[in-house]
Amino acid sequence: MKNYRIAVLKGDGIGPEIVNEAMKVLDAVAAKCGFTVEYDEALLGGCAIDATGVPLPDETVAKCKAADSTLLGAVGGPKWDSMPGNLRPEKGLLGIRAALGLFANLRPARIFEPLRDASPLRPDIIGGSLDIMVVRELTGGIYFGERGRLEENGVQAAYDTEKYSVPEIQRIARIAFDLAMKRNKKVCSVDKANVLESSRLWRETVTEMAKEYPEVELSYMYVDNCAMQLVRNPAQFDVVLTSNIFGDILSDEASMISGSIGMLASASLGESGSGLYEPIHGSAPDIAGQNIANPLATILSVAMMLKYSLGESEASDMIEKAVAEVLNEVRTPDIYVEGFRKVSCSEMGDEVCSHL
Ligand code: NAD
Taking only the tens place, the pLDDT of each residue in 290-340 is 999 999 999 999 999 999 999 999 999 999 999 999 999 999 999 999 999
* Residue 211 scores a pLDDT above 80: yes
Q: How far is the CA of 303 from the centre of ligand 1 (A)?
A: 21
- Atom 44 in ligand 1: which residue has the minimum CA distance? 282
How far apart are the CA of 31 and the centre of ligand 1, in A? 32
Residue 224, H or E segment: helix 223-232
**Model confidence pLDDT, tens digit, residues 44-81:** 999 999 999 999 999 999 999 999 999 999 999 999 99
- Classify residue 234 by burial, with Cβ atoms within 10 Å: 0-12, 13-18, 19+: buried
- What's the pLDDT at 128? 78
Mean pLDDT of 105-131: 88
- 9 CA to centre of ligand 1 in angstroms: 16
Query: In 10 A of CB 225, how many CB atoms?
Result: 12
* Active site positions, annotated: 143, 192, 224, 248, 252
Residues with CB under 6 A from ligand 1: 14, 18, 74-77, 90, 93, 261-262, 278, 281-287, 293-294, 297, 334
pLDDT of residue 103: 96
Collect all residues with Cβ–Cβ distance below 8 Å to 50 and sequence separation of at least 6. none
User: CB of 189 within 8 A of CB of 199?
Assistant: no
Check residue 355 and give its pLDDT.
98
pLDDT digit string, tens, across residues 81-98: 998 877 899 999 989 998
pTM, full prediction? 0.93
- pLDDT class for 259, splitting at 50, 70, 90? confident
Is the pLDDT at 190 greater than 80? The verdict is yes
Are the C-beta atoms of 322 and 349 separated by less than 8 Å? Answer: no
pLDDT at 42 over 90: yes
pLDDT digit string, tens, across residues 133-176: 999 999 999 988 999 999 999 999 999 999 999 999 999 999 99
Cα dihedral 98, 100, 104, 105 sign: negative
Half-sphere exposure of 104 (CA within 13 A, CB side): 27
Q: In ligand 1, which atom is closest to the CA atom of 285?
A: 28
Q: What is the mean pLDDT of the chain?
A: 95
Q: Which residues fall within 8 angstroms of residue 265, CB to CB, at 6 or more apart?
A: 108, 277, 278, 279, 280, 297, 298, 300, 301, 303, 304
Looking from the CA of residue 295, the nearest atom of ligand 1 is 18
